[in-house]
Amino acid sequence: MRIATWNVNSLKARMDKVEWWLGRAEPDVLLIQETKLTDQDAPVMPFQMWGYELLHHGEGRWNGVAIASRVGIGGDVVTNFGDGPVRDSGPGSTTVFAEEDFNPFDEARMLSAVAGAIRFVSLYAPNGRVVGSPFYDGKLAWYERLARWLAEAASTSEPLVIGGDLNVAPEDIDVWNARAVHGGTHVSEPERAAFRRLLEWGLADTYRSNRSEPGRFTWWDYRAGNFHKNLGMRIDHLLATPQVAKRVIWAEIDREARKGTPIPSDHAPLLIDLDEPGVPIDAGWDAAAARIAARGGTRVG
């Protein structure tokens, strides 16, 4: 089984790219974040044409998470940690949302379902913006809710994969320059402690467990040529309970999907294979290493 996660930064805007990647990588299960769609507008038919069921949890203009599966989707669907409906920010909504109204528990950030005998959880963690801000405090509160949901509704003895844009770079190796970002969001100690709490509960970081190379990231800012200089962070993750983690034989970040036209997402897909290899892909890291070095960018290991 091939499992992947990808923050697509608008599923409507990137659908051509997503379809290209489904044909390229052939994931069995794809966890998607930042769809920016209502459930009614989710592209169920295009995914069906590629052989996937699509389960979507969205609100409209912002956020949104989904699970696409070609191994079926079972029952026991959970959205928003089971805490009830989220806001409607879609077309026709008369609600005015001001920045100070930020409430991560009223946003479409969590979706869980069973596919291929594994429970999957697609997550889009709050960004946090500025350390000490209400957005940062909300991010930590959201992580606290995630930890409580795991403790109450899940078990380390079951096959479970949590994937998505978790907006945390767990270690200094996961950022282009630890000194440059020291004290900022995504790398602050409280955020990293929240991430470690997931590992301490019993989840494995499947990418880092299988890949130790430095300079391989999942996100690069659109500005200032950061992608071409490899000034990025590894903030997208696939975490798994022992039953699944021991089956992982390969992990990769597909850098090639961050390239091309129209403008791609600022994230690249992260994928793992269980039990046997999926279709081979060249993720582009080796070919990019010399170009990145010539630009004075972050070394690719």
Q: What is the CATH number of the domain that holds 257?
A: 3.60.10.10
Residue 22, in any domain of the structure? yes
Q: What is the pLDDT of residue 271?
A: 98
Helices (H), 98-188: 134-153, 178-181
pLDDT bracket for residue 236 (50, 70, 90): very high
Would 274 be classed as within a structural domain?
A: yes
Q: What are the distances in angstroms from CA 228 to CA 75, 220, 291?
A: 43, 9, 8
Query: Does 301 fall in a domain?
Result: no
pLDDT at 94: 61
Looking at residue 179, its pLDDT comes to: 81
Give the pLDDT mean for 53-78.
95
pTM over cut 0.85: yes
CA distances 177 to 187, 230, 284, Å, are 11, 11, 22
State the residue range of the domain holding 116: 2-294
Q: What is the pLDDT of residue 90?
A: 84
DSSP assignment of 234-272 equals: --EEEEE-HHHHTTEEEEEE-GGGGSSSSPPPSB--EEE
Which residue in this structure is represented by tokens 């805490």? 83
Q: How many domains does the chain have?
A: 1
Q: Is residue 241 part of a domain?
A: yes
Q: Residue 111 domain-assigned?
A: yes
pLDDT surpasses 90 at 112 = yes
Cis peptide bond prior to 85, omega within 30° of 0: no
Q: Do the beta carbons of residue 88 and residue 62 sit within 8 Å? A: no
pLDDT, mean of residues 163-170: 98
Section 151-170 average pLDDT: 98
Residue 300 lies in a domain: no
The mean-pLDDT minimum among 8-12, 64-68, 224-228 falls in 224-228
- Over 90: is that where the pLDDT of 181 sits? no
Residue 252 lies in a domain: yes
Mean pLDDT of the chain: 94
In the predicted model, is pLDDT for residue 98 greater than 80? Answer: no
Examine residue 179 and state whether it is found in any structural domain, yes or no: yes
Residue 194 has pLDDT above 90, yes or no: yes
